Amino acid sequence: MIYNPLEEYENKFKDLHLAKATEFFENLVKLSGVNPEENRKTVRQHNEYKDNLKKFKKKLNLWRFLRVLMIITLVLIPLVILKITPKIKALREDINLSEQKAAELLASAHRQMAPLNRLFTDRDALKIIESTIPMLTFAPYFSTEQEANMVMNYDFFNRVIPQQTTVDLLSGNYNENPFLFEKRLTHRMGVETYHGYKTIQWTETYRGSDGEIHTRTETQRLHASVTKPKPFYSTQVLLNYCAQGGPELSFSRDASHLERKSEKELERHVKKGEKKLKKMTDKAIKENRDFVSMSNSDFEVMFDALNRTNEVQYRTLFTPLAQTNMVDLLISRTGYGDDFDFIKKNRTNIIISKHSQGRALNLLASSYTSYSFDTIKELFISKNTSFFKAVYFDFAPLWAIPIYQERPVHSLKPIPDYAQTYSHKECESIANKVPNEYIAHPRTQTPVILKTSFVGSQQSIDEICVTASSYDIIKRIALIPVYGDDGKWHDVPVPWDEYIPLEEENNFFICAAELAYDKAVLARKNNLCIFKNS
């Protein structure tokens, strides 16, 4: 078990993961049979030709400029013919030779590294983490059985939300407690205000200081606006972690970046929070509610989960060790500090960290491929290190609570057998990797929200129906009457976009890659494939 997530990351897991990643890479290098020194020589020669190419092009531009100046001075035309033109011709030959050599060396470098690049898989980063923290295991896909287990035994919210689709996911278990990383794309309808302008002009007469009648031209820029419906889209990455601790307890807390505060600012923050806690406790006593502030005011104020629904279970979870661990995480700058929202809904816990928003849920093999051995090694180590840190500190608030690391008691509801192999979220995830031309309405001009339904299964191949919801955009112009200073009404044109709802349905098939060898595969995810025809 991880008793102190922050301390153990600093003193154990950070270096252990680096060693595991380095060992994993070196084993791939041995298996590939590539020659790093030979590649370094090829890359060095390629870079030299590329550098020469830049120098030659710079000289060529300079001589071209001089030739133009000399041609303008007619007297110097003979000098241009005898001296400058041959130099330009020679430079062009040097450039062509350098380009040819650089291309040949680049191709050679790619061939040298091909055996290593071919060995990378989309599971490498996950395997390294599993070897670093053996209790943490990642599943090859999010199965119907695991989804049902989370729903039936851990209160996992899995209702169909039409305005939301799963664009990526990563599932697994920590000491048999199921978890699911999920990246969602959410659609909501809002409004957009569009603006338009029109300049008007008129002539008016006036009596000048000389007593005479004069005319002058006046202008005014008229403004108009219209408000119209518009769809908005946003993505969110979250970790769902299921554990039996606190089965009737719910609460939430929001990130407040306490790690950015100085020691004195933290003291003031806690003192201010203590006054709030006392008022809440006094009010709860008067109203005969069971809220009682915990004695560790640092934890109470910093964690700030004051909307908890069960005091007894809250204290069962947050033992003195758990409180200390959580405070350390919140104020430390080693990881990401207080950058996470923590939502508990009975037996499902949700972590939404700022550092994970926008990141990929897994490192793909394409993350490291290159023609340079040194570049490949640098990318492999650095990207795996960053990925591990992000994953570790998503779990850290959960590992801070010792009871969440205990193996679940198996007095749980049995999971029935399902005809469907892949969960609805997994189906959405891989469907979202299919290019829009195969899955969305042809007139689509916005992001697409995909929902799936199970059609049937045969020989380990699931058939699903994918409904793609999106919008076409039609350019419109609204003419808005605006009263001008000339005493007249004018129609001001305001361009706006009309969003026309679209919907498209298509059937697809999902299976393991080895079963799709003769299929027209549209997208791949880990070892899964999606294709149109069975």
Q: SS3 for 294? A: coil
- Which residues lie below 8 Å from residue 130, measured CB to CB, with a gap of 6+? 136, 137, 138
Q: Is residue 188 part of a domain?
A: no
Give pLDDT, residue 415.
Answer: 85
Q: What is the pTM of this model?
A: 0.87
Q: Is residue 41 part of a domain?
A: yes
Residue among 508, 513, 516 nearest 528 (CA):
513
Give the whole-angstrom CA distance, residue 527 versus residue 524. 7
Give pLDDT, residue 61.
Answer: 66
> pLDDT tens digits, the chain, 534 residues: what are they?
899 999 999 999 999 999 999 999 999 999 999 999 999 999 988 878 777 677 766 766 665 655 555 555 554 555 555 566 666 667 676 677 677 787 888 899 999 999 999 999 999 999 999 999 999 999 999 999 999 999 999 999 888 888 999 999 999 999 999 999 999 999 999 999 999 999 999 998 888 888 888 888 999 999 999 999 999 999 999 999 999 999 999 999 999 999 999 999 999 999 999 988 888 888 877 777 777 788 899 999 999 999 999 999 999 999 999 999 999 999 999 899 999 999 999 999 999 999 999 899 999 999 999 999 999 999 999 999 999 999 999 999 999 999 999 998 866 788 888 889 999 999 999 999 999 999 999 999 999 999 999 999 998 899 999 999 999 999 999 999 999 999 999 999 999 999 999 999 999 999 998 888 888 999 998 889 999 875
- Which residues lie below 8 Å from residue 43, measured CB to CB, with a gap of 6+? 105, 109, 371, 372, 373, 374
Give the whole-angstrom CA distance, residue 339 versus residue 330. 8
Q: Is residue 446 part of a domain?
A: yes
Q: Is residue 193 part of a domain?
A: no
| Residue that is last in its domain, among 117, 133, 168 | 117
Q: Is residue 11 part of a domain?
A: no
| Residue that is last in its domain, among 95, 117, 139 | 117
Q: Is residue 178 part of a domain?
A: no
Write out the residue range of the structural domain in which residue 473 sits.
Answer: 424-531
- Alpha carbon of 178 to those of 137, 147, 278, 405: distances in Å? 10, 9, 38, 11
Q: How many domains is the chain partitioned into structurally?
A: 2
Q: Is residue 375 part of a domain?
A: no
The residue with tokens 């380009």 is: 99
Give the whole-angstrom CA distance, residue 58 versus residue 255. 53
Is residue 169 within 8 A of residue 180, CB to CB? The reply is yes
| Residue that is last in its domain, among 117, 149, 181 | 117
**Phi, psi (rounded to 5 degrees) for 512:** -70, 150
Give pLDDT, residue 533.
Answer: 74
Is residue 150 within 8 A of residue 348, CB to CB? The reply is yes
Q: Is residue 60 part of a domain?
A: yes
